[in-house]
Chains A and B, each alone.
Chain A
């Protein structure tokens, strides 16, 4: 083999080796950056949403419902310290739903969404009040919005036995829709797995709220058989 060719091959081998080493270093740096971003988000979350701890907390397996594909949620059992108080317990599991998402693909509630308040009325209605990000960062679409509602409702009903239905508020207000499609003016059923068959609600139950005031005043009742003429 000519001497020049040997030298060229030698230089080429060294260049390839240096390239491989650099590539590996680059990969490590990228991994480090991703981990750093992840820990930054975790730290931010810890500051924004301090862990909810109550004296009655007991470590146990909580069923948190994250996405399993585009159209359904599935339970993942997570070890959490859960309160005996249903309201605190509700906050704890919803906070875990947002903050402890295992992978990006499994995320349902947007990472920036915060649970602002959670309470349970005496008639069994759970009120979950989220920040604007729940509405603004959920991908618009019937399927994607329903997935978010399902994950919240299934997580609550499998961990908090008291409430029978759920009302979702956005920043303290009733919203027309979640992100343009799924109706938030009504309620969502909560059916705890071990609950007795539903009895008719007491007559003192909270009335169904009327349409938001921003909606042009429609007729509040509709008389079947007495329909108005089509407008032209």
Chain B
């Protein structure tokens, strides 16, 4: 029986949606798929159960990507991206930033309902809101790992309204590395392993895998 969280890896874009494109032929959708596969192997080696929103050149909708994560009671969602511009190896972890609730009373009731497991429904578009603090903490731990390995990276995560995260009812972050504009594609693709390993270590710091119980398979 599996114990511990299910990590949902979300390589951004796919299919006709290439994401960022570099003059060197690099496209974001391919780079993030490669990183996603490396991250999957790394996490599985650490004992995590891992699923991916796409394992090929398909392009699931934002809703389908979120629905995959929301199908699990204990998930961690990581969306992978590459920027168009920026210094090579600049890496950032993002957590979703919602605006201040316009209907504060209603939203606080919804958040409370989720925390207390009262069974009350929350709007699909606001599914990430109750997990904002957990997501910020996860982003912070991943950013610390990234900062140690990629010297140009900031020392704190960045709040941003990343679309892939909005409807995920679980701790959810996006991680972006710079950039497809490198003159030599190898300069970016050679960082994939280190990038994936940093994210995996951040996840492990956020939710360590429980130690195996003696006598259990």
Contact = CB atoms under 8 A, between A and B. Distances in A.
B162 A70 contact: no
Contacts of A228: 70-71
28 contacts: A71-B158, A123-B102, A139-B85, A140-B83, A140-B84, A141-B20, A141-B81, A141-B86, A142-B81, A144-B83, A146-B160, A146-B161, A165-B99, A180-B20, A186-B99, A186-B125, A186-B166, A200-B103, A201-B101, A201-B104, A215-B62, A215-B63, A218-B67, A221-B121, A223-B120, A226-B119, A230-B71, A231-B68
B114 A143 contact: no
A206 B126 CA distance: 16
Interface string B122-134: 1111110000000
Interface of A: 70-71, 123, 139-144, 146, 149, 165, 176-177, 180-183, 185-189, 198, 200-201, 203, 205-206, 208, 210-211, 215-216, 218-231
A120 B13 CA distance: 34
A218 B179 contact: no
B174 A144 contact: no
Contacts of A206: 102
Given A143-B176, A216-B63, 19 more contacts: A140-B83, A142-B81, A142-B176, A146-B160, A181-B174, A182-B160, A183-B161, A187-B99, A188-B99, A201-B102, A205-B102, A208-B102, A211-B124, A221-B121, A221-B123, A222-B124, A223-B121, A227-B73, A230-B68
| Interface residues of A, dominant DSSP | loop
A223 B154 CA distance: 36
Contact of B124 (A176, A220, A231): A220
Contacts of A200: 103-105
A185 B125 contact: yes
Contact of B162 (A176, A183, A223): A183
B121 A176 contact: no
